[in-house]
Amino acid sequence: MTKGIWRSVSVVYSNSGVILLEASPFVQLSSNSSHFELCNQVTAHGCDNNWFFDIPISLSVINLNNRSVEMQVSFKVSWDASRFYNISFTFETGKRVYRFENALPSVSSADVQLWWPNGMGDQPLYDIFYCLGSHCSQKTVGFRSIALVTGNETDPEYVDISRHQEGTDSHGMYMKVNGKVVYARGANMIPMDEMEGRLSDESHEKLVENARLANMNMLRVWGGGMFLPASFYQACDRLGITLYHDMMYAQLGHNPSNCSVQSDEVEYQVLRLAHYASIVIWDACNECGVAKGDLYTDFILKAVVQHDISRIVWPASPSNGWESGVHKLTCIPIARNVSLIPKANGGIEGHGPYVHGTGFPAVNGLDGPSEKRYYPKFPVELSLSNTGPEFRNSFQSEFGAVTTSSFESMSAMLLERHYSMHGGEKPDICAVKGMTITNECNGTNAMAERNYPCDSIIHGTFGANINLSLVGEKVFRSQLYLCMLASALAMKAEITVQRSENHFGALVWQLNEIWPTGGWGSLEYGPFNFDGQVAGGRWKILHHFYRDFLFSSIFAACGAGMKCFIKNDDIQNQLVNFQIHSCNSINGVTKRIFHQDNIYIKRFKIWTAPVLNTTSKLLLLSVSDSEGNLLVHSFSLQAKKVVVTEPRTCEVSHKIIIGAELATIQLRSACDVLLFVQLTTLAQGRFSDNGFVFIKGIGPSRCVGSKPLQCPPIVFIPHDKNQMLVLKQTLKIEHLQQAVSNLLHSPVISKT
């Protein structure tokens, strides 16, 4: 099947008959610079400024003449603008890739600024200008050292032994950039649209900005999707989002064939993307079980390393690593013609767990139409294990929970009679057909092909009396809200468990939705100029959770047995203050039940608080720096379900104050407390807060225990000033008590 030409087509003219198709600069540490001489944490020597980067350049050229042609290639660089570099070279007939190892001199780290992941430093980029004949263009590069560490490099003896060895180890898995260990946090990126012709640069740029704002520093480009437009990679370079990049192969038949079309595609993509500093890992595929001598190693990754030995190469996601073919301390290929042999065992990278919904016949979900009981993981059972790179660790490159999107997003593609989680009509008959992970559904129900059902997750979290068959805008809004909130709470529990353990990677499945429906993403379907959608994706509650606390460098949580902790995944050691308030979810009364100042926490370490003596089911946590500035705020649920004992409509009024750049939103309610407030609008932009507890007389729960001047108001940040009128006309407010009240089978919910 083909979708036709969906990218721009151009005509290139050349007097010489020699056309430059692509110039591909690769930034890599010089062979004279050891990775561990860069920033040697083992010997604590600090950083040595006398190490160098090499910049080999590949030129993809087609010579249309029937003879060889000698031409001059010229280069100029922005970090040394006073010099030109010229090379005379003979180009053979036909299309070939030419590699120039020494076209540019090595660059000292003293002459450039290093490129860092988001949250660890700046992202300076430099230009390389080049000309072949009359064809001139430029590429941007960033200077950074990268390594994927799988052994205990905190042990000097291990480092000395491994320095000249091949393969990987099974101690753990984490990234190092410029010699610094990275706690990788982010998500899996899927295509922004099924129809590639609808893709836009603006939407990709805003999506990456949304990832940055949520404290993400890594995205995985999923192998079941596509190689993405240049605007996506440019935004990742600019904003410090590192990329774990699959080749476009995956499980269930999406495997490679040994043919020139596919080898040409791999070559083209590796050369097209070579200069992007954000790409740090190439791997062969998603969940494909790479084995010795198969097409993934001997065809796909062989084609990759023939052109690129500047990056980490990994068998697949997930993987056990390599027996041989890569430097043991960095996981970078040892040579272009290397034989890559994968490991059979390792257990350092994982996919899962996944929360799949049940309870309604749908294409996804092989458990049948019956609802299987879902048990939320709160209060969370904490591990509080030994943490740090010196201990065994792991990397979760996929895990997630099914969810839906907002009414604003989903209603754009539904008729009013289908405004219901159950589609407003007879369920389809769905059954497994053949070897597949999906069902085949017969019927016309509009909700049968919109990911997994959410029934079990909603009922397990909020009680069995929630009616998901009701039809209409009001109840559909509440149904969708409860699904998104239940999913966000499930992800909060899972990430809390991971942050209490020794994980160095948390990449959620998934970042974004591919169409306006249910899915796994924290960002809704986000094309540009499409009814009901926000360019780059409307933030769901979960995305706010990432920004507010789940992906914060300083993390605080309380688990079962009233055990509370702080984890420091920042770039440096921290001195912090910690306070915990109990909150009555009916009358909003808060009380400080724990407070301790000047807590010193080393990087990647956990500090545990004394066990709390309280019966409160809702705790509010805040961590501030030594000067009292808020670093992170969070909440902890200490009940097995979020059961509303007094469901009430609790009408909320609001006032919108339009400013020069932002709109301030003031909320008022007769109720003392509103649980997990959600704001939505058709306006293009995002809210500063969502999914928060609102306390009468205080405001969002982040304000509890703060000085008034340290608690900024709720605001809407528009994409442009023309969105303010749309905000005023379409702002909607949802909260837990109201949603439960709207959907009750009966007016009574029993207490937990």
How far apart, in whole angstroms, are the C-alpha atoms of residue 334 and residue 340? 10
List of domains in the chain: 18-182+247-347 (2.60.40.10), 552-637 (2.60.40.10), 652-734 (2.60.40)
638 band by pLDDT with thresholds 50, 70 and 90: very high
Higher pLDDT, 385 or 534: 534
**Which segments of 378-464 does DSSP mark as H helices, in order?**
407-410, 455-462
pLDDT of residue 35: 47
**Sequence-distant (≥ 6) Cβ neighbours of residue 377 within 8 angstroms:** 490, 493, 494, 497
Residue bearing tokens 């007389």: 697
Q: How many CB atoms lie within 10 A of CB 19?
A: 18
Assigned token pair, 477: 């809004």
Q: Which of 349-353, 491-495, 745-749 has the lowest mean pLDDT?
A: 745-749
pLDDT of residue 289: 86
pLDDT of residue 3: 66
Distance of CA 631 to the CA centre of its chain: 21
Residue range 266-278: mean pLDDT, rounded: 97
Residue range 132-157: mean pLDDT, rounded: 95
Q: C-alpha angle with apex 419: 418 to 424, nearest 5 degrees?
A: 45
Residue range 701-718: mean pLDDT, rounded: 87
Assigned token pair, 410: 């989903």
pLDDT of residue 262: 94
**CA–CA distances in Å: residue 744 to residues 83, 459, 465, 649:** 74, 11, 6, 12
Q: At what angle do helices 736-743 and 473-499 cross, to 10 degrees?
A: 130
Assigned token pair, 535: 């360019």
Residue-wise pLDDT for 74-104, tens only, equals: 999 999 988 999 999 999 999 899 999 999 9
Residue-wise pLDDT for 534-590, tens only, equals: 999 999 999 999 999 999 999 999 999 999 999 999 999 999 999 999 999 888 899
pLDDT of residue 33: 59
Q: C-alpha angle with apex 363: 358 to 365, nearest 5 degrees?
A: 30
How far apart, in whole angstroms, are the C-alpha atoms of residue 192 and residue 80? 39
pLDDT of residue 538: 98
Evaluate if residue 748 carries a pLDDT over 70.
no
Percent with pLDDT over 70 in the chain:
94
Evaluate if residue 187 carries a pLDDT over 90.
yes
pLDDT of residue 30: 87
Residue range 395-411: mean pLDDT, rounded: 97
**CA–CA distances in Å: residue 693 to residues 78, 110, 215, 683:** 50, 49, 21, 23
How far apart, in whole angstroms, are the C-alpha atoms of residue 379 and residue 173? 29
Residue bearing tokens 């295509």: 191
Residue range 248-277: mean pLDDT, rounded: 93
71 band by pLDDT with thresholds 50, 70 and 90: very high
Paired residues of 608 in beta bridges: 565
How far apart, in whole angstroms, are the C-alpha atoms of residue 248 and residue 284? 8
Residue range 351-358: mean pLDDT, rounded: 94
**Sequence-distant (≥ 6) Cβ neighbours of residue 745 within 8 angstroms:** 465, 466, 467
231, amino acid identity: S
Higher pLDDT, 133 or 187: 187
Residue range 295-322: mean pLDDT, rounded: 96
Residue range 160-167: mean pLDDT, rounded: 94
pLDDT of residue 587: 86
Evaluate if residue 450 carries a pLDDT over 90.
no
How far apart, in whole angstroms, are the C-alpha atoms of residue 672 and residue 693? 11
Under DSSP, the state recorded for 550 is I
Percent with pLDDT over 90 in the chain:
81
pLDDT of residue 649: 74
Paired residues of 693 in beta bridges: none
Evaluate if residue 411 carries a pLDDT over 90.
yes
Evaluate if residue 218 carries a pLDDT over 50.
yes
What do you get for the CA distance between the two ends of the chain, in Å?
54
Question: Which secondary structure element, helix H or strand E, spans residue 177, and what is its range?
Answer: strand 174-177
Phi, psi (deg, nearest 5) at residue 587: -105, -5
pLDDT of residue 41: 39
**CA–CA distances in Å: residue 660 to residues 110, 158, 403, 657, 668:** 42, 58, 35, 10, 24
**CA–CA distances in Å: residue 147 to residues 12, 38, 323, 400, 497:** 39, 12, 17, 27, 26
**Sequence-distant (≥ 6) Cβ neighbours of residue 499 within 8 angstroms:** 506, 555, 557, 567, 569
How far apart, in whole angstroms, are the C-alpha atoms of residue 407 and residue 193? 19
Cβ–Cβ < 8 Å for 220, 188:
yes
pLDDT of residue 709: 65
Distance of CA 78 to the CA centre of its chain: 32
pLDDT of residue 642: 82
Residue range 399-411: mean pLDDT, rounded: 97
Cβ–Cβ < 8 Å for 313, 327:
no
How far apart, in whole angstroms, are the C-alpha atoms of residue 698 and residue 679? 18
Q: C-alpha angle with apex 240: 234 to 241, nearest 5 degrees?
A: 80
Distance of CA 125 to the CA centre of its chain: 22
How far apart, in whole angstroms, are the C-alpha atoms of residue 375 and residue 491? 13
Q: Tell me the pLDDT of the chain averaged across its residues.
A: 92
251 band by pLDDT with thresholds 50, 70 and 90: confident
Q: How many CB atoms lie within 10 A of CB 140?
A: 16
pLDDT of residue 708: 62
pLDDT of residue 431: 85
